[in-house]
Amino acid sequence: MKLHEYQAKNLLKKFNVPVPDSNLISNLEEITTIQNNLIFPIVVKSQVHSGARGKAGGIKIANNINEMTKYATDLLGKQLITHQTGEKGLPINSVLLEEGINIEKEYYLALTIDGSVSKPIIISSPQGGMDIEAVAEKNPEEILKTEIHPVAGLLPFQSRNIGFQLNLDKALFAQLHEILTGIYEAFVDSDATLIEINPLVLTKENQLIAADTKFSIDDSAMFRQKDLFNIRDKSQEDSLELEAEDQGIQNYIKLDGNIGCLVNGAGLAMATMDAIKFAGGSPANFLDIGTANNPESVVSALQIIGSDPDVKAIFINIFGGLAKTDIIAEGFVKAKEQGLIQQPTVIRLAGTNVEDGKRILEESGIDFQLADGFAQGANLAVTASIK
């Protein structure tokens, strides 16, 4: 789950990481109640789940109240389209009004988990404000990775190493250590998977401050991070994906093709998308139905796929392990009988209870194409999607 910038900054503040003073508004009336507290210039920042907001026109600098009101009016209620959001963009339901800071220099800091060493790592670079992927490609020597041992925690020598790498004045090392410690504590405390501070700004007043931040939480930790999941902003997520989640289908991702996919297992679901591309088609979604303990979950999944206007054909690819092919077959028959799917459907069944599954399909008298294997199924689905 992603946090908004303002949510992330509120959280970091609790861990003694300095952030600029700000006010959040979700409508224009709120400006009148807060404007006395602000010192201009003020940065008006759209709160959407995307990077590159500045380039897309979602961040403006206001020098007075009139400008601030104008920018807030322009942004609130609009869709912000960045290269990460797709062409529909994301709704700007709130803007952060943040006091400008006098920038002396910008740095990059991030804390994430490195699966190859199974530890949190701090990634730091003197190239602040840049896309870190681009820095990693062009100037890999500008990036330092610092592993943190979970038992020892972040140690002062590690902060010093980072301080020297960033070429900071030694007088700032204590500040840097306090910020890094705060980020690490916030990371562990909130089951984060990523905290990125980009840029970390050194102000002309010699203060280090987190000017922008991205914050992601481990979805598997929802059971113990209820407070954070309560502030999740669903308006930033796809409506079909949310509907799928409401129906208990956690693993549905909308894609831009026209072949709806219902698969068990994430790996097979990805491979099915690959097979469709290989056969010359394009998948409309990723869907892992999981263990599918009852036909109703299959019916719900097919309802979501069937109601997607982009879907021209459906490919059901099941290799039963824990999932039983007869349950999937039953669900398909029910969805058809309830008129939830109109699109031509190709079904490939293998694994647990496959004979029962095939028998249920044959006895139903419903129109579908049975595929013998993976490749054949993908080919049939692509052909059906073109007709």
255 binds other proteins (CB under 8 A): yes
211 close to 45: Cβ distance less than 8 angstroms: no
Binds other proteins (CB under 8 A): choice among 14, 55, 83, 119:
119
CA distances from 348 to 316, 361, 373 (A): 6, 11, 6
Residues 378, 381, 385, CA angle at the centre, nearest 5°?
140
Choose among 166, 148, 191, 277: nearest CA to 3: 191
137 binds other proteins (CB under 8 A): yes
280 binds other proteins (CB under 8 A): no
**Residue 196 known to be catalytic:** yes
Q: Of the listed 5, 6, 107, 196, which one is catalytic?
A: 196
Q: Nearest distance from residue 56's CB to other proteins, in Å?
A: 16
352 binds other proteins (CB under 8 A): yes
339 binds other proteins (CB under 8 A): no
Q: Interface with other proteins by CB under 8 A: which range of 40-48, 196-204, 228-236, 282-290?
A: 282-290
Please list the residues that pair with 213 across neighbouring strands. 197
Q: Interface with other proteins by CB under 8 A: which range of 11-19, 56-64, 262-270, 360-368?
A: 262-270
Among residue numbers 55 through 74, which ones bind other proteins (CB under 8 A)? none
SS3 letters across the chain: CEECHHHHHHHHHHCCCCCCCEEEECCCHHHHHHHHHCCCCEEEEECCCCCCCCCCCCEEEECCHHHHHHHHHHHCCCEECCCCCCCCCEECCCEEEEECCCEEEEEEEEEEEECCCCEEEEEEECCCCCCHHHHHHHCHHHCEEEECCCCCCCCHHHHHHHHHHCCCCHHHHHHHHHHHHHHHHHHHHCCEEEEEEEEEEEECCCCEEECCEEEEECHHHHHHCHHHHHCCCHHHCCHHHHHHHHCCCCEEEECCCCEEEEECCHHHHHHHHHHHHHCCCCECEEEECCCCCCHHHHHHHHHHHHCCCCCCEEEEEEEECCCCHHHHHHHHHHHHHCCCCCCCEEEEEEECCHHHHHHHHHHHCCCCEECCCHHHHHHHHHHHHHC
The site that binds other proteins (CB under 8 A) totals a number of residues, namely 56
Q: Interface with other proteins by CB under 8 A: which range of 69-77, 97-105, 130-138, 330-338?
A: 130-138
Q: Nearest distance from residue 267's CB to other proteins, in Å?
A: 2
Binds other proteins (CB under 8 A): choice among 201, 273, 380, 381:
273
**Residue 185 known to be catalytic:** no
378 binds other proteins (CB under 8 A): yes
Binds other proteins (CB under 8 A): choice among 18, 283, 306, 331:
283
Binds other proteins (CB under 8 A): choice among 116, 141, 365, 367:
116
144 binds other proteins (CB under 8 A): no
Binds other proteins (CB under 8 A): choice among 253, 340, 366, 370:
253
Among residue numbers 159 through 218, which ones bind other proteins (CB under 8 A)? 188, 191, 193, 218
- Closer by beta carbon to other proteins, 94 or else 190: 190
Q: Nearest distance from residue 377's CB to other proteins, in Å?
A: 9
Binds other proteins (CB under 8 A): choice among 128, 320, 331, 357:
320
- Closer by beta carbon to other proteins, 350 or else 366: 350
Active-site positions? 108, 196
Residues that bind other proteins (CB under 8 A): 84, 113, 115-116, 118-120, 133, 136-137, 149-151, 188, 191, 193, 218-221, 223-224, 251, 253, 255, 263-278, 283, 286, 288, 291, 319-322, 350-352, 373-375, 378
